[in-house]
Amino acid sequence: MKTSSLAFSENSEISIVSKKRKRKRRFNSGRVSGIAGCTIVTCLILAAIFAKQLSPYDPSSQSGKPFSPPSAEHLLGTNDIGQDILSELVYGARISLTIGIVASIVAMVIGTTVGLLAGYYPRVLGRVLMRFVDIILIIPFLPLLILLAAYLGRSLVYTVLIIGALIWAGTARVIRSQVLTIVKQDYVLAARTIGASDLHIIVLHILPQVLLLAVGQFVQATSGAILLEAALSFLGLGDPLQKSWGTVLYWAQVRGVFLTPAWKWWVLPPGMLISLAALGFALMGFALEQVINPRLKNNSK
């Protein structure tokens, strides 16, 4: 009996130690991802804010010979009309990041509103809203995005609205699932008992509980919004007069740079910046989800 009890205690201790190690690994991975993502995003935002001070030339004026390779005067060379590509990319950070962030805010507002209503009124209104969410998720995304952008025209405002109107569905699903749990809590039931209005309960009792979750979804959506803006601009459906990373790629495609040696300094840098920005926001979203998402919290216990 003593031997079996000792073996049982040893096994329990081993399981406890293994669980602690798993928790520590998850915490460390989330912390490292968050620090890396915040560092990348902060550097890009600072570059966008201080673009005038950081860019060596005016991106809209000719500052060198066309198709000049990288040199001491032009670190990333020049384009087909002699504009400095590094200056274009520094200024382009403003447009690319602004579109990504604002479009994600639009998606967060729509998704949070739909999720709150669908979770609080789960029967009739909730079913109708979730069927609409299913339609948004089922429809082929990229063809619909291209169709709307082509129909509405080239504009930064339209680009923001189109992207925001198509990426909110995932946020709505996440918020709704959390609201369905919150409405069963005692404080919500007590508020209903004393005669509090639905608007009062949603705004003061439910919204604060899902707001951090919505912020996590916003950060993740920003990563996708930046990629979508670059895709639309590359296809010629963005505003070609605005300097963004996607429009830099668009003009490179129009000028046939992909078949010349100039692709090394004209195509690679904006592509790397787009990937870096998407990676930074994705890492931040992963770290926030580790902290905020209740399902991940439960799985880590």
Specify which residues 78 forms β-bridges with: 84
What is the model's pLDDT at position 130? 93
Q: Are 182 and 210 in contact (CB under 8 A)?
A: yes
| Angle at which helices 245-254 and 207-234 cross, to 10° | 20
What is the model's pLDDT at position 295? 53
Mean pLDDT lowest for which of 14-28, 73-87, 113-127?
A: 14-28
Q: What's the CATH code of the domain at 106? A: 1.10.3720.10
Residue 69 lies in a domain: yes
Mean pLDDT lowest for which of 27-36, 140-149, 159-168, 289-298?
A: 289-298
Tens-place pLDDT, residues 191-200: 888 888 989 9
What is the model's pLDDT at position 10? 47
Tens-place pLDDT, residues 127-152: 999 999 998 888 887 788 888 888 88
Residue 32 lies in a domain: yes
**What is the CA 141 to chain-centroid distance, rounded?**
16
Q: Give the integer Cα–Cα distance in Å for 243 and 268.
A: 16
Residue 2 lies in a domain: no
Residue 56 lies in a domain: yes
What is the model's pLDDT at position 301? 46
DSSP class of residue 259 equals G
Residue 9 lies in a domain: no
Tens-place pLDDT, residues 235-290: 888 887 788 999 999 999 888 888 888 888 899 999 999 999 999 999 988 888 77
Residue 45 lies in a domain: yes
Number of domains in the chain: 1
Owner of token pair 């919150």: 182
Residue 15 lies in a domain: no
Mean pLDDT lowest for which of 89-98, 179-188, 235-244?
A: 235-244
Q: What is the mean pLDDT of residues 64-88?
A: 90
Residue 3 lies in a domain: no
Owner of token pair 């926030």: 288
Which range of residues forms the domain containing residue 134?
27-299
